[in-house]
Amino acid sequence: MRRTGGSRLRAAGVSLAGVTMLACAPALAVPAKTAAVKPVPRQDPSAPETVEVSGIRRAFTHASAQHLADSATRLTAERLTERGVVDLRGLEYVAPNLTVQSINGTASTNFYLRGLGFNDFTQNNMGPVLTYVDDVAYAYSTMASGMMFDLADVTVTPGPVGTEHGQSTTGGEVKLQTRDPTNMFHFGASQDMASYARSRSEAYVSGPIARGLSFRLAGQVRQGGGWQTDPLDGAHLGDANSWALRAKLKWTPDSRTTILLSGHVMRDESQVVGAIPIARLIGSAPIPTVGWTQTEWSAKDAFTKLIGRKAGLKPSEDNWFWGADLHVAHDFGPVTLTSVSAFETEREGEYTDQDATAAAQADTYRTIAANSFTQELRLSNTHPEDRLQWVIGAYYQRSRMNQSFYFDYTDYRPARGYMQVSRFGLDQEATSEFGHVSYRLPGNVTLFTGLLHEIDDRAITGLTSQVYGGRTLDFHSESTAAAQFAGQVGVSWQAARNVLLYYKMSKGFKPGGFTANNTQVQAQLAPFGPETVLTYELGLKSDPIPNVLRINAAAFYNDFHNQQILGTILIPDYGPLSQLTNVPKSESWGFEGTIDIHPFRHLFVTQNLGWQRGTFQDFPTVNRARTNAYYAQHGVWKAINDNFAGVDNGQPKLTLNGQLDWRQAVSPDYAVEFGPNWLYRGAQALTPGGTGYYRLPPYFLLGAHVTLRPASDHWQVTLYASNILNRQYYTSGGQATTTYLYIPGAPRFIGGRVSCNL
């Protein structure tokens, strides 16, 4: 039934009408028997909560997941709202050992989970960490831009996956689950306004249409928030300008069949975050001196005319994303068949000033036209209480992409001094078969194993590199294919009702690909090879004091072969360029954990901790720092080669994030919640062995919020602040021609949010 009266305040750990509730989480009963490794079917996250007559609720969410042998971080929509997580980048504020970096301040993102990931500006390769939205794997991470609204929950799973669903990966996955249609009529809206005229608006409506047929329509609009200015003319940069819609139609023709059709569209014309030049690598001309919230940019009329954009173009997006998916599930009694079909489309136009100066030394405009079709079939046993749990399935994915990169180097003299365009196409197809089985033995011991076989074929075609007014280079096509096995084997032991121990070994596989953004010689198109990793993981899930203390932790060791990272290639008489390559042998190890504490009625604390180290054991490549230094001294490009054996992989060693909430009744009808949140990230090397300005400095951020809500929970008002200390920090960086750049993080924001749900 729907929550009424003082249920929300009781859930918040405050007392109304003599009834005390322990937490704000939905009630989740702990099973009497140990759950098998295979997850239980997901409950409808949009369904109204029930209120227990006894007034007792559990302090922590996802109680049933405490019996699953994984190290996933599971986040409710409420937790994401409390922390102000509205995009993929914000997930690193609420999960351990996770880094999500915007590429040059744009909508494109790169994921690093437990230090595993790579920097792929072209976004034409499969990443080590995949993004899923409603069980649909997105071939290119940019396709998930603007999808984080009307969410039910988010799950971040590190390590190799793929034996139970979807596609094999080496680094893990980020799964977004949006809310489904409801059988009762609901609607709601929220308005968030903050510093720098930032506005975020969301709304939804959901309910029945006819017997067995229901719908949900949700949307969001984002405006403003740009906090950068150009010191040369005071021009403003960084305003958001986007909208998105999602529609779902759910049909249950009978008690055993569910058909869910979903479609979405997203339009993004937001400005991007400009870079700050840190050091000039070549030449003696000074770099601009700008403040933390300042950046320079330029777009010459000749360049905007060439790319078909209006004069005075600011660094910005011009993107459309749309797609549709169909989920069909039928319970045949002993088995359930699930089908997931999806088609996703990306149309991107993106201008960035990659020299961060008023000169045209590395102005870049890229266009992407891409689409992806996926089909998944799964057959599994229906009853989660059975000792034997199993799932088998098959997965198919086909994607097509065409990209164009325009560069304005007219002020980069004497090295270039021209405008240039590179174009290419990409064709990719993959199939896989997977299976996973677990069996619960006497003594609360569960054995589990999984196997996956994947075949991937991809080719880069029609690549040309044209200098306007000069030469045109045509390159022949390259292709790469891979067929490998991945799998998992492990054991879990339910040592006590609230204590689970597990150990597992997992092999992950990821196909190879191509580097193709600024190609000058055929050797740049040589494909990099597949990546494999063997991961050993030991984990603990426990509620040693139920409703008071929860401790989840995992330790891991990764043994990599041909790990894919962004290295360097030197083009004679041109300079160093980034090149995705393979590290023959590398390793990483570490641990992560989450502690939830509810020591007394009003106080709730969550602390995530991640620590990891990694080294290259064999990695011969060009040392970019020494190569740049040699050119600066001698005026000649000469590759200085090194083997980075024994060198740290450069990923942040320590990541911390958490929050504290105090929940207090202020009257019989109202409650207030308030508290701080925090984030710490260690230093990150941007090139192998990077030191000095080749390394992002560590940073610490502090935020806070206070929320007032009535007992009915039909509305709430929140005041919040992020980066309260107004710390200067940088989220990513890189090199463009003669300068090394950092992308700055946002300054202090103070805002308010009003929401209602009826």
pLDDT of residue 288: 86
Locate 391 and state its tokens.
Answer: 């799932």
pLDDT of residue 283: 66
Residue indicated by tokens 């199993």? 390
**Do residues 72 and 608 make contact, with C-beta atoms less than 8 angstroms apart?**
no
Distance (Å, rounded) from C-alpha 755 to C-alpha 709? 10
> Residue 496: which residues within 8 A CB-CB, separation 6 or more?
none
**Domain residue limits, the chain:** 7-757
Mean pLDDT in consecutive groups of 10 residues from the start of the chain, 758 residues: 41 37 32 36 38 44 94 94 91 92 85 86 86 92 89 95 91 95 96 97 97 97 97 95 98 96 97 92 79 92 95 95 97 96 96 91 93 97 92 97 94 88 94 96 96 95 92 92 95 96 96 83 86 97 95 97 86 78 94 95 95 93 82 82 89 94 92 96 87 91 96 93 96 83 95 95
**Do residues 118 and 564 make contact, with C-beta atoms less than 8 angstroms apart?**
yes
- CA 240 to the chain's CA centroid: 19
DSSP β-bridge partners for residue 205? 187, 217
Nearest 5 degrees, angle CA 747-CA 82-CA 90? Answer: 50
Q: What are phi and psi of 574, to 5 degrees?
A: -130, -50
> Residue 563: which residues within 8 A CB-CB, separation 6 or more?
116, 531, 533, 582, 583, 586
pLDDT of residue 123: 81
Distance (Å, rounded) from C-alpha 726 to C-alpha 731? 15
Distance (Å, rounded) from C-alpha 418 to C-alpha 652? 38
- CA 118 to the chain's CA centroid: 13
Rg (CA), the chain: 26
Distance (Å, rounded) from C-alpha 187 to C-alpha 185? 7
**Do residues 264 and 248 make contact, with C-beta atoms less than 8 angstroms apart?**
no
Listing DSSP states for 160-219 in one string gives: -B-SSSS--BSSEEEEEEEPPP-SS-EEEEEEEEETTTEEEEEEEEEEEEETTEEEEEEE
Distance (Å, rounded) from C-alpha 649 to C-alpha 119? 13
Distance (Å, rounded) from C-alpha 390 to C-alpha 407? 52
Distance (Å, rounded) from C-alpha 702 to C-alpha 678? 5
Residue indicated by tokens 């000095």? 692
**Do residues 615 and 587 make contact, with C-beta atoms less than 8 angstroms apart?**
yes
Q: What stretch of H or E contains 718?
A: strand 715-722
Distance (Å, rounded) from C-alpha 163 to C-alpha 432? 10
Instruction: For residue 92, give the 3-state DSSP assignment.
Output: helix
Q: Please report how many Cα atoms fall inside a 13 Å half-sphere around the Cα of residue 424, on the Cβ side.
A: 26
Other beta carbons less than 10 A from residue 277's beta carbon: 21
* CA-to-CA separations, 231 to 272, 352, 484, 727, 738, in angstroms, rounded: 17, 18, 54, 20, 21
Listing DSSP states for 530-593 in one string gives: PEEEEEEEEEEEEEEETTTEEEEEEEEEEEEEEEEEEEEEEETTTEEEEEEEEEEEEEEEEEEE
> Residue 695: which residues within 8 A CB-CB, separation 6 or more?
650, 683, 684, 685, 686
The CATH number of the domain covering residues in 7-757: 2.40.170.20
Distance (Å, rounded) from C-alpha 659 to C-alpha 604? 8
Q: What are phi and psi of 301, to 5 degrees?
A: -55, -40
* Residue of 300, 338, 304, 333 whose CA lies nearest to 318: 304
Distance (Å, rounded) from C-alpha 356 to C-alpha 745? 15
Listing DSSP states for 480-523 in one string gives: EEEEEEEEEEEEEEEEETTEEEEEEEEEEEE--B---SS--SGG
Distance (Å, rounded) from C-alpha 303 to C-alpha 307? 6
Instruction: For residue 605, give the 3-state DSSP assignment.
Output: strand
Locate 141 and state its tokens.
Answer: 């991470």
Q: What stretch of H or E contains 265?
A: strand 257-268
**Do residues 65 and 35 make contact, with C-beta atoms less than 8 angstroms apart?**
no
Query: What does the CA dihedral 296, 299, 300, 301 come to, rounded to 10 degrees?
Result: -140
Look up the pTM and report it: 0.89
Distance (Å, rounded) from C-alpha 204 to C-alpha 208? 14
Residues recorded for the chain? 758
